[in-house]
Amino acid sequence: MTIIPYLYFMQINIKNMVCPRCVMAVEQILDKMNVPFDEVSIGSVKLKKPLTEEEMIVFDQELQLIGFEILKERKQKLVEDIKISLQELINSGTDNMLKTSSYLSERFNLEYSYLSNAFSDIQGESIEKYLIKIKVEKVKELLGYESSLVEIASQLRYSSIAHLSNQFKKTTGLSPSEYRKQIA
């Protein structure tokens, strides 16, 4: 087996970690393997000591079983960071009036066209399509909490309730009110 130096770093970047439950799942794997770590956060693990090649193989296999993957390339790491940033933007509930393209360009200090191309190459979809998917998931969550469409549209920076409803129906096949009835 070829030894790849990046595997032995004390920080490992992980694809598809987007929530606190993901962090807990990775912590459980590390605990099960008796691997000491300083911190597990969304998208990365900081270890107290480098993993052996055997430990890295087991860790990678365990991650894959739960839908995660160790990031090996710089572009992959950038795409995961973009996904985390978009998730943070959606979950923040703040009135950040910047367009998504401006927000990401400022956050990463890179041209949006580069970010967009890298994202599409690695993720297989545009940033805009990915953002719509995570916004619709957030709408589903908020509908379960009995939030009004006015509140949801405002929180998620939709230009109108009609825009929110159209995007939701196009993505899920249901209107927000039909979805709410199904989960009630």
**89 in the same domain as 43:** no
Q: What's the Rg (C-alpha) of the chain?
A: 19
Same domain, 46 and 79: no
Is there a single domain that holds both residue 81 and residue 67?
A: no
Task: Output the CA angle 9-14-18, nearest 5 degrees.
Answer: 145
Q: How high is the pLDDT of residue 50?
A: 85
pTM over 0.85: no
When divided into structural domains, the chain yields a total of: 2
- pLDDT tens digits along 3-24: 444 444 588 989 888 888 999 9
Q: Name the helix (H) or strand (E) containing 38.
A: strand 37-41
Instruction: Tell me, yes or no, whether 160 and 79 share the same domain.
Output: yes
Q: Are residues 127 and 150 in the same domain?
A: yes
Q: Any idea what the CATH number is for the domain that residue 83 is in?
A: 1.10.10.60
CATH number of the structural domain spanning residue 44 = 3.30.70.100
Range of the domain at 111: 75-183
The domain boundary residue, chosen from 31, 52, 72: 72
Is the same domain home to 63 and 79?
no
Q: Identify the band that residue 1 occupies on the pLDDT scale cut at 50, 70 and 90.
A: very low
| Same domain flag for 24 and 49 | yes
What is the per-residue pLDDT for 32? 95
How does DSSP classify residue 159? Answer: S
Query: What's the CA gap between 4 and 2, in Å, rounded?
Result: 6
Q: Please choose, from the candidates 62, 63, 72, the residue with its C-alpha nearest in 3D space to the C-alpha of residue 9.
A: 72
Dist. CA 20–CA 2, nearest whole Å:
33
Helical segments of the chain, H only: 20-32, 53-65, 74-92, 100-108, 112-123, 127-144, 149-155, 161-172, 176-183
Q: Do residue 178 and residue 88 come from a single domain?
A: yes
